[in-house]
Structure 1
Amino acid sequence: MKLPVNKSKLISELIKQEDTTGSYTITVDDLGEKEFFIGNEEGENVVIKGTYHLSNLLQEAALLINKEEDIILKHIVEEPVTRISRVIKDYYWDKLTRSFDNEDLLNVLEDEKMQGDFLRLYVPESDAEALAFYKQKTIGHTHVKVETISENISNEEIIALNKKPGILALAYSKEKEKSIPFVVPGGRFNEMYGWDSYFIGLGLIIDDKFDLAQAMIDNLEYQIIHYGKILNANRSYYLSRSQPPFFTSFIKEFYETYSDKLQLSWLKQKLTTAISEYFNVWMTENVRLTDTGLNRYFGEGAGVPNETEPEHFDTIFKTFAKRCNMSLIEFKEKYNKKEIVDETLDKYFIHDRSMRESGHDTTNRLDDCSAHLNTVDLNSLLYKSETDIAYFITTYFNDSFSYNNNTFNADEWLQRANKRKQLMIDFMWNEKEATFYDYNFIKKEQQPCVSTTNLYPLWANLCTQEQAENLIDKQLPNLICKGGLASTSSLEIMPKDGIERQWDFPYGWAPHQMLIWQGLKSYGFEEKAQELIYRWLWLIVKTVVNYNGLIPEKFDVNKCTHQVDVEYGNVGTNFKYVTDGGFGWTNASYKLGIKFLEDKHLDSLNMLIDPDLIFSKTLRI
């Protein structure tokens, strides 16, 4: 049944009647009438009742505001499980898609941090065709500058570039004379992010968005070729910083799903690029490869990370200002101008940038120590990369693959992986506590912290079955909350500065959930995987139903809410009428969870049955 109404008028009337909090949404916090009459195509009145259905009506009107289509009643009364999946596939991925073509250009370039007279787009100097293309695209935009940067840019050049920051161009299709699109996380994040892209890619593949998933891989490859690494994000001040390495995993998921559409030459090119990233980014000695033979995150550059707010490090600066008998303002100004040199503070910012390269910005686990740690998560990811490369060579290239005048067989990559596995057991495995811990190679000791990242070896498939059982028996219960996995245990000690950090307890994030679900399934712990999937999806569905379709960046999984009071707030929660695409990896986690969740749990999700009633035997923190 269609509802042929004036959508603008409908939105206005709905908000006036139901939105009592002034949020331009309809939520459980509103005290409206919770009932609205609307005419159908037969001229009859249809009554829409309750927060969920009224908010669906508002969302449908907003989604179709610029279209001639009528609102369809079945979409208003659609069960939550089906509705969420449909709107992610049909609307949200498109909402989160960007490109550097003329109609999208300013949307990408404009940013609150871009100060000065010009919005800058930087293009690699070696990509002459892209340079000509982008210069043509920006004709008429007098406040936009297209400039080149060298491919082998030095730290000094990056620091100098911080005075005139801008967006870094991504891949361009000569055949189509268009820039290749990319999907952004959402909210204030309006650029392409490194590890977000892998998880977003999983969601795109599940929704059969072939072209868009391929575009994401093409853009990641472009970054490796032209900027030397997969960047934290494609902004100039991220040129010195990579992110967790998921490139081979993305290639594998995509190629094995769409091998009938792709030629082997496509895989050969991508595998060549992946091997290049492995050697040139992660296996560079004294940078990201340490004397232990294991790896660390290492954000190069100097001083305060450019993406942070001016007051972000005031707690740290106050301590150093007091030692120098200076005011906070005076000390910050002199330090930022390099009129004061403080080795201890310099090291703190090295650790901070390294923590941001890990994607876990910020967490007490890595605060003021990240560059000294061989972390479980990074080395698990690199083990997975090594075994992926071995798999590609064996499965698709007859056990012989040429790269940079060398010919590799699969055994060489398996040897690398097995060596890494043994080093991880030697340095990271704690027999007494039956878990992996990060290893501080400066102090030559493990750094115990109960963290979801300790479970990455399950996803990478590097554990023995016995180790996996021990991890699940002894480590996992400390991380399970009502709404899914917390980043760390509640048992971890709050730091002296008392600042809650968003990658610690009680906050839960989509990438952690997705990796651990897959890890549990690969070791045969299907029942535990079902529980954790249900807990997370229940929290997403509960939030969508009660808060106008909201899909945020993260959750407080202990209190089961998106309303958080933490250092960076919660992206994806501020919108009018309809969420502006949700949030990339949270969308993807929903799609992956629904793919994995057994049918018997779907009705429970629609009825929002409390997970503790279904999984009552679970011991939770």
Structure 2
Amino acid sequence: MNGDGTPLNIAERVSRIAQADTLTPADRYQELFVAVQTQRVFKDSKTFVDCAPNRAPEQIVAAYHHEKSQADFDLAAFVARHFTPEAEHASDYVPDPDKSLRDHIDALWDVLTRAPQEHLPQSSLLPLPNDYVVPGGRFAELYYWDSYFTMLGLAESGRPHLLRATADNFAYLIDTYGHVPNGTRSYYLSRSQPPLFAMMVELFETKGVKPALHYLPQLRKEYAYWMDGADDLRPGEARRHCVRLDDGTLLNRYWDDRDSPREESYLEDVTTAHRSTRPAHEVYRDLRAGAASGWDFSSRWLAHEDDLSSIRTTALLPVDLNSFMYKLETQLARLNQACGDHDDAEQFRARAATRRNAIRTRLWDEQQSAFVDYDWQLDCRREALTAAAATPLYVRAASAEQAQRLAETMRARLLDDGGIGTSEIRCGEQWDRPNGWAPLQWLALEGFRHYGNTGFADEIARRWLLTVSSLYEHEGKLVEKYRLRHTPDGAVGGGGGEYPLQDGFGWTNGVTRKLLHENPRHHANHSRAGRPRKAAGH
């Protein structure tokens, strides 16, 4: 707001946002930050890094150094005096038992929508020029890859203004920071997440939000971020997100520019690194890269499936990331052609074709009949089968034969009561069995549709809708992840990981709302909170 109480216009909001402070809490508070996180002043490590200071940070740090040696010093009381935790938005939204699951999701968008605000001095929040939708629970900022799956539901709920706002927010982030950060916090700026802006742009176009060509400059900038340093790599070398294999093949990996503990999970990361025989900075880098993948965490990234300290994310070339990069390259080829830049269009077509060939060869396991990640340091394919195997189908990078064989593999090994399982491993990490996640269901079922396997796709959709609607009928909410093996009483929320199960929840709402629209005869369309149906077979 202006001083006279009138709202800021877009130009004024962008002007003020340009001055947003990007210093992270660890950089700003240093010794105080470490003390607060290691002494567990807050139960959740994310709480402190989301706090706003009540006075100038340098004054708070000076006060801390002056007071900390006093006999009666109370760190928790000091923090309470000098910081204000972010206001909690109610996560206990009470559903109307007379409304269907579809109507419940439609109503939740208002609960999860945040309005842009003037940047709070020295807070970690990176403000945006337009309204945005948060996942829910402890995740009170905009997240990158979450948002694509949220948008699927916004489109079906008739929220074009939120689609348009989201599109422009992501364009703004790319223009301002050179990439889309993991989330809109200063401590997320050193990494991104799965690059789905190319798929967002396609959705904007099909839903009449804006022509995809409008976002060509941002797509080019994002590609430059992910491919930084690639042209100078010799065989066997890696730089940031890029790895050139011994035969010259160029592929991408997840990366974070920092090699310190994640600020939002500081104590957790320090504890993990202490269990490792590797240098701590290597463990921190791989933990951060695992967070950049969105799969934080999974046995997929581990050398030993029951030991998070064995994480080696940066040694792996993920099949899903390289599929998303293929989509970005094909989108750039199409849009450059449309605007008359034929030379660049041809260059991106060639890059896409080369990457597609690498996906079909390097990332295809002939014995398993599945796409897998590639370990570039050990020069071998990973054996683990995960739901990421379906991503090449989603972007149409697989051959028809590979798609058919993969369907048989995933049906036999990953299909569960409630949908497609994340992996075959039970190790306590949240991106593993028995959990199922909405984005993985969508990537799989839509991928199989692209190759004509509608039967398998429909089966995944049916089981997922049963899962979500069952929990909704019993508990009146949607959650971040679900356990796919149903109990006699129905579906239950997933577990594992670094934090409790979160309600909300953006991408579950988005994918489920999309599937409800596509499956109008499914029982889930008639689900009501507090009215559980009798257990049904699968």
Name the TM tier (shorter chain).
0.7 to 0.9
| 1:93 and 2:109 are equivalent in the alignment | yes
Across the aligned residues of Structure 1 and Structure 2, the Cα RMSD in angstroms comes to 2.5
Letter in 2 for 1:270: Y
| 1:521 and 2:466 are equivalent in the alignment | no
| 1:370 and 2:313 are equivalent in the alignment | yes
Alpha carbons of structure 1 residues 448 and 283: separation in structure 2 relative to 1, 3 Å: farther
Provide the C-alpha distance between the structure 2 equivalents of 1:523 and 1:385, rounded to a whole number of angstroms. Answer: 20
Q: Identify the residue that residue 572 of structure 1 maps to in structure 2.
A: 502
Q: Identify the residue that residue 168 of structure 1 maps to in structure 2.
A: 126
Provide the C-alpha distance between the structure 1 equivalents of 2:379 and 2:457, rounded to a whole number of angstroms. Answer: 35
TM superposition score normalised by structure 1 = 0.64
Provide the C-alpha distance between the structure 2 equivalents of 1:225 and 1:603, rounded to a whole number of angstroms. Answer: 40
Kindly, what percent of the aligned residue pairs are identical? Answer: 28
Cα pair 1:363 1:503 within 8 Å, conserved: yes
Aligned to 2:169, the other structure's residue is in SS state helix
Provide the C-alpha distance between the structure 2 equivalents of 1:77 and 1:211, rounded to a whole number of angstroms. Answer: 27
Cα pair 1:534 1:611 within 8 Å, conserved: no
- Report the CA distance between 1:254 and its aligned residue: 1.1
Alpha carbons of structure 1 residues 475 and 310: separation in structure 2 relative to 1, 3 Å: same
Provide the C-alpha distance between the structure 1 equivalents of 2:151 and 2:293, rounded to a whole number of angstroms. Answer: 19
Provide the C-alpha distance between the structure 1 equivalents of 2:519 and 2:421, rounded to a whole number of angstroms. Answer: 20
Decide which structure has the larger Cα Rg and report it: 1
Q: Identify the residue that residue 281 of structure 1 maps to in structure 2.
A: 226
Alpha carbons of structure 1 residues 205 and 283: separation in structure 2 relative to 1, 3 Å: farther
Q: Identify the residue that residue 429 of structure 2 maps to in structure 1.
A: 501
Cα pair 1:60 1:76 within 8 Å, conserved: no
Provide the C-alpha distance between the structure 2 equivalents of 1:390 and 1:412, rounded to a whole number of angstroms. Answer: 8
- Report the CA distance between 1:218 and its aligned residue: 1.0
TM superposition score normalised by structure 2 = 0.73
Aligned to 1:307, the other structure's residue is in SS state helix
**5+ long unaligned stretches in structure 2:** 1-90, 231-238, 303-310
Q: Identify the residue that residue 327 of structure 2 maps to in structure 1.
A: 384
Correspondent of 1:302 among 256, 259, 268: 259
- Report the CA distance between 1:235 and its aligned residue: 0.8
Cα pair 1:550 1:572 within 8 Å, conserved: no
C-alpha deviations, 1:412-460, integer Å up to 9, x for none? 3222111001122232111122111111111111111110001111111
Aligned to 2:374, the other structure's residue is in SS state strand
- Report the CA distance between 1:550 and its aligned residue: 1.1
| 1:246 and 2:186 are equivalent in the alignment | no
Letter in 2 for 1:299: D
- Report the CA distance between 1:202 and its aligned residue: 1.4
Cα pair 1:354 1:371 within 8 Å, conserved: yes
Equivalent residue runs for 1:465-476 within 5 Å? 465-476=400-411
Equivalent residue runs for 1:407-556 within 5 Å? 408=343, 410-489=345-424, 492=425, 500-547=428-475, 549-556=476-483
C-alpha deviations, 1:78-119, integer Å up to 9, x for none? 5xxxx1111221x21111111233xxx6xxxxxxxxxxxxxx
Aligned to 2:158, the other structure's residue is in SS state coil
Q: Identify the residue that residue 213 of structure 2 maps to in structure 1.
A: 268
Equivalent residue runs for 1:554-593 within 5 Å? 554-559=481-486, 561-573=491-503, 582-593=504-515
Cα pair 2:422 2:440 within 8 Å, conserved: yes
Provide the C-alpha distance between the structure 2 equivalents of 1:313 and 1:593, rounded to a whole number of angstroms. Answer: 41
Equivalent residue runs for 1:303-318 within 5 Å? 303-311=260-268, 313-318=270-275
Provide the C-alpha distance between the structure 2 equivalents of 1:531 and 1:611, rounded to a whole number of angstroms. Answer: 14
Provide the C-alpha distance between the structure 1 equivalents of 2:387 and 2:150, rounded to a whole number of angstroms. Answer: 20
| 1:235 and 2:185 are equivalent in the alignment | yes
Cα pair 1:375 1:437 within 8 Å, conserved: yes
Alpha carbons of structure 1 residues 272 and 432: separation in structure 2 relative to 1, 3 Å: same
Provide the C-alpha distance between the structure 2 equivalents of 1:188 and 1:444, rounded to a whole number of angstroms. Answer: 39
Q: Identify the residue that residue 145 of structure 1 maps to in structure 2.
A: 121
Alpha carbons of structure 1 residues 61 and 436: separation in structure 2 relative to 1, 3 Å: closer
- Report the CA distance between 1:61 and its aligned residue: 10
Aligned to 1:442, the other structure's residue is in SS state coil
Provide the C-alpha distance between the structure 1 equivalents of 2:493 and 2:103, rounded to a whole number of angstroms. Answer: 25
- Report the CA distance between 1:356 and its aligned residue: 0.7
Aligned to 2:385, the other structure's residue is in SS state coil
Cα pair 2:171 2:215 within 8 Å, conserved: yes
Q: Identify the residue that residue 351 of structure 1 maps to in structure 2.
A: 286
Letter in 1 for 2:215: K
Alpha carbons of structure 1 residues 195 and 564: separation in structure 2 relative to 1, 3 Å: closer
Provide the C-alpha distance between the structure 1 equivalents of 2:318 and 2:259, rounded to a whole number of angstroms. Answer: 22
C-alpha deviations, 1:520-559, integer Å up to 9, x for none? 1111111111111111111111111111x21000011124
Provide the C-alpha distance between the structure 2 equivalents of 1:295 and 1:564, rounded to a whole number of angstroms. Answer: 30
Structure 1, 422-431 or 602-611: larger mean CA deviation = 602-611
Q: Identify the residue that residue 578 of structure 1 maps to in structure 2.
A: none
